[in-house]
Amino acid sequence: MDRVLTNVNMVTLAGDDGYQVINDAMIGIQDGVIVYAGHKEHFDCHGHPDVMDCQGALVTPGLIDCHTHLVFAGNRASEFEQRLNGVPYEQIAKAGGGILSTVRATREASEETLFRLASERLHGLKNEGVTTVEIKSGYGLTLDDELKMLRVARRIGEMPDINVSTTLLAAHALPPEYSDDPDRYIQFICDEILPAAAQENLADAVDVFCEGIGFSTQQCQRVFHAAQKHGLAIKGHTEQLSNLGGSTMAARMGALSVDHIEYLDNEGVAALAACGTVATLLPGAFYFLRENQMPPIDQLRELNVPMAIATDFNPGTSPIASIRTMMNMACTLFRMTPQECLQGVTTNAAQALGMGGLRGQIREGMQADLAIWTVSHPAELSYRIGVPDLKARVVNGELFIHQHSER
Ligand code: NIG
Ligand code: FE
């Protein structure tokens, strides 16, 4: 065994319900994988070289941010100001601002610059216990620029202290070059961008923005068919600002997750339940756009649809690189419980990335991704914001210390 953690209060989340806490536990790790997670009396740690006494610290699975747009250049603070002067988001988008203003800045930026900017943004997430992050393209919208963004995301994934899942989001907005013919851009995605991303193994999944200011349900379906032809998983930004039926279409095609879903109706919820699709809630965008249409939390609960929570970190609708703020907002804005929030950033977030059997729980056979906290109850993780509660993270069995002082 390479590493043993002793004296751990372990929140395993390895069960259908509840935190699944094991007190006074031990965790054994070998080759980056958890090989023992249970009561200490069943385990003899004598002779193991790397024993870490966690002194009763609470240990959870490493947190997973399953929806981000971490790679981009520039910022949209001036649009933020415009919106506060009364101009709506959709109007800014139609006037060539919004997503397209970030597209211009991102096309101009080098891979090196994008890598530096994204790495900096990741700091906040790591300091809050995140060990896996999903990163989308979608601000390039040309073959070269979409691949550039994905290469940056892959490069971030080469760092030893973070796992990255990459998603091609070429169908994010209509690039100006195709403004007279959206279908031709969809064709270009299916025929050129998607095959190239698949060929270079740059994307783990393919995403779309199914919305009036994005693409129609039919156009999104074409992108999904092409993705599946190349063996890539699918997911969607759906039902964020209106109900176009994108979630139902995505779920029926086997999407891993549908994200935002404020306008999802009962039929849509039933489709998610029937197809095993995760509902990813993005309270940061809800908050930042001052939406008042609530996602259908009660119906999702009733039909046992797994709910994930993510930052949706992006320059337009959620410039908030804090997973714990999202957990708190999911409680205060969506009335979710702290337990649902922790499940939403661990086991359900893993499922939203197709990593359900690999990450997001503490149990034997899972990758050793852990967050070691100074808190005494897991509800504290959703309750408090901005306090350095993280002691250390373990990523694929390797230890990264965040706090040296005794708290
Ligand atoms: O997830 N909904 C579409 N895409 C992003 C917003 C991107 C932007 O405004 O730059 C989102 O909210
Ligand atoms: Fe998003």
Q: What is the per-residue pLDDT for 203?
A: 98
Q: What is the per-residue pLDDT for 108?
A: 98
Q: What is the per-residue pLDDT for 365?
A: 98
**Is any atom of ligand 1 closer than 6 Å to the C-beta of 312?**
yes
Ligand 1 mutation pick, 317, 318, 326, max ligand atoms within 8 A of CB: 317
**Is any atom of ligand 1 closer than 6 Å to the C-beta of 346?**
no
Please state the residue numbers annotated as binding site for N-formimidoyl-L-glutamate: 139, 314, 316
> Contact at 8 Å (CB) between 313 and 321?
yes
**Residue extents of the structural domains in the chain:** 3-62+360-401, 63-353
Please state the residue numbers annotated as binding site for Zn(2+): 67, 69, 237, 312
Minimum CA distance residue for ligand 1 atom 12: 317
Ligand 1 mutation pick, 69, 104, 168, max ligand atoms within 8 A of CB: 69
Q: What is the per-residue pLDDT for 135?
A: 99
> For residue 173, which ligand has an atom nearest its CA?
1
Tokens of residue 151, six digits: 């290469």
Tokens of residue 128, six digits: 């809050």
**Is any atom of ligand 1 closer than 6 Å to the C-beta of 99?**
yes
Fold of 63-353: TIM Barrel (3.20.20)
Q: What is the pLDDT along the chain (407 residues), one digit of tens a residue?
A: 889 999 999 999 998 889 999 999 999 999 999 999 999 877 777 777 789 999 999 999 999 999 999 999 999 998 999 989 999 878 887 887 888 999 999 999 999 999 999 999 999 999 999 999 999 999 999 999 999 999 999 999 999 999 999 999 999 999 999 999 999 999 999 999 999 999 999 999 999 999 998 999 999 999 999 999 999 999 999 999 999 999 999 999 999 999 999 999 999 999 999 999 999 999 999 999 999 999 999 999 999 999 999 999 999 999 999 999 999 999 999 999 999 999 999 999 999 999 999 999 999 999 999 999 999 999 999 999 999 999 999 999 999 999 876 55
Residues 12 and 22: their CA atoms lie apart, in Å, by: 7
Q: What is the per-residue pLDDT for 4?
A: 95
Residue 308 CA, ligand 1 centroid: distance in Å: 18
Tokens of residue 117, six digits: 């900017």
Of 303, 265, 304, 257, nearest to 282 (Cα)?
Answer: 257
Name the architecture of domain 3-62+360-401. Roll (2.30)
**Is any atom of ligand 1 closer than 6 Å to the C-beta of 280?**
no
**Is any atom of ligand 1 closer than 6 Å to the C-beta of 344?**
no
Q: What is the per-residue pLDDT for 276?
A: 98
Which ligand 1 atom sits nearest the alpha carbon of residue 318? 12
What is the number of other CB atoms lying within 10 angstroms of the CB of residue 89? 21
Residues 213 and 393: their CA atoms lie apart, in Å, by: 40
Phi, psi of 280 (to 5 degrees): -100, 120
SS3 of the chain: the string is CCEEEEEEEEECCCCCCCCCEEEEEEEEEECCEEEEEEEHHHCCCCCCCCEEEEEEEEEEECEEECCECCCCCCCCHHHHHHHHCCCCHHHHHHCCCCHHHHHHHHHHCCHHHHHHHHHHHHHHHHCCCEEEEEEECCCCCCHHHHHHHHHHHHHHCCCCCCEEEEEEEEECCCCHHHCCCHHHHHHHHHHHHHHHHHHCCCCCEEEEEECCCCECHHHHHHHHHHHHHCCCEEEEEECCCCCCCHHHHHHHCCCCEEEECCCCCHHHHHHHHHHCCEEEECHHHHHHCCCCCCCCHHHHHHCCCCEEECCCEECCCECCCCHHHHHHHHHHCCCCCHHHHHHHCCHHHHHHCCCCCCCCCCCCCCECCEEEECCCCCCHHHHCCCCCCEEEEEECCEEEECCCCCC
Strand order in the sheet with 307-309: 63-65, 130-136, 163-171, 205-210, 233-238, 257-260, 278-281, 307-309
Q: What is the per-residue pLDDT for 343?
A: 98
Q: What is the per-residue pLDDT for 286?
A: 98
